[in-house]
Structure 1
Amino acid sequence: MLWVKAFHIIFVVAWFAGLFYLPRLFVYHAQCEDELGQERFKVMERKLYRGIMTPSGVLAIVFGLWLIYLTPTWLTAGWLHAKLALVLVLINYHWYCGKLLVTFRENRNRYSHIFYRWFNEFPVLILIGVVVLVAVKPF
C-alpha cells in the first residue's frame, strides 16, 4: 500500500505542477503580440496539457482509486467524500484548461492576462483543501 500511496502523491504533484503552470502560460500568451511568440506558446501549452498534465491527472486518479480499493473503510469517512468532491472540481478545472487551450490554438481567446492571473490561483485553493482534509481528517 505504501508504494501505491507514494505513486499517488508523485502523480498528484506532477498534475498540480501542470495545473499551476498552464494558466501561467495563458497569462503570457494573452499578453503576447507577435506571431512567432503565439505559435511558441501554443506548442508549449499543448505539450504540457497532453504530455504531462493529462497523463499525471489520470495516473493520480488511478492510484487514488487503488488506495480506496485497498482501504475500503475510508469510504465511510466524511473527509474522503469532501476530498473526492474537490477532485471532481479539479477534473472540471483541468477540462476547462483544455477548452481554453483550444481557444488559444484557434486564435479565439477573449480573456485578458488579468483574467488568467486570477484563474491561475484557483488550484491553490483546491490544493489547500485537499491537503487539510487528508492530513487533518476533520470529519
Structure 2
Amino acid sequence: MSGFLADIYFWTKSLHVISVITWMAGIFYLPRLYVYHVEGYEKRGVERGSEMDLLFQRQERLLLKAIMNPSLIATWIFGLALVFTPGIIDWSLIWPWAKGLSVILMTWFHMWLAVRRKDFVNGTNTLPGRRYRIMNEFPTILMLIIVFSVIMKF
C-alpha cells in the first residue's frame, strides 16, 4: 500500500466507523420516534398541530437533518475512500459486494424514513405504529450482513 489514501488509511477507517455509528443510531431511533408519534395519535388523543405533534416533528427533523444526513454523507465519503485505498479490497470475494448492496439498501431505508417524515409534516401518514416497528428490523438485518461480511471476509 502506498499513496495518499494508504497514508491516511487508519484515519479514514476510524472516521468511517464513527460516521457509521452515528448514522446507525439515527437509523434505529427515527422509526421508534415514528411509532411514538403514531401511537400518540391513536392511543393518547394527540391532535395534529398540537404542541406534542409539533414536538415530535421537531425531534424527527433534527434527528434526520442534524445527525442522520451528515452521518450518511460522511459514511459514504469515508467508505468510498476506503474502497479506493489500494490493497484493501479483494473484489474476487463476496464480502465487498454483500456489504456494498447492504449499504445501498440502508441508504434507501434512510430515504424512505425521510419521506415518512414529510408524511407526518403534511398530516398524510397512513402507516400504523406496528408497520414502523416491523420496518425497524430491516436495518438490523442489513447491519448483521455488513458486520459479518467485513469481519469474516467470506
- Compute the TM-score of the two structures, normalised by the length of structure 1: 0.95
CA gap 1:46/1:135 in 2 versus in 1, 3 angstroms = same
Shift of 1:71: 2.9
Shift of 1:36: 1.6
Distance, in Å, in 2 between the alignment partners of 1:115 and 1:26 is 10
For residue 5 of structure 1, what is the amino acid of its counterpart? K
Q: Pick from 59, 62, 69: which aligns with 2:84?
A: 69
**What is the CA RMSD across the aligned residues, in angstroms?**
1.1
Aligned counterparts, 1:1-139, within 5 A: 1-33=9-41, 34=46, 35-71=50-86, 74=89, 76=91, 77-138=93-154
Structure having the larger proportion of residues in helix: 1
Is the 1:11–1:59 Cα contact (8 Å) retained in structure 2? yes
Shift of 1:14: 0.3
For residue 40 of structure 2, what is the amino acid of its counterpart? C
Shift of 1:73: 5.4
Number of matched pairs = 138
Q: 5+ unaligned residues in a row in structure 1: which ranges?
A: none
**Highest CA radius of gyration, 1 or 2?**
2
Distance, in Å, in 2 between the alignment partners of 1:18 and 1:11 is 11
Is the 1:31–1:113 Cα contact (8 Å) retained in structure 2? yes
Identity of aligned pairs, percent? Answer: 33
- Compute the TM-score of the two structures, normalised by the length of structure 2: 0.86
Shift of 1:75: 5.3
CA gap 1:5/1:73 in 2 versus in 1, 3 angstroms = closer
Distance, in Å, in 2 between the alignment partners of 1:90 and 1:120 is 11
Shift of 1:121: 1.4
Q: 5+ unaligned residues in a row in structure 2: which ranges?
A: 1-8
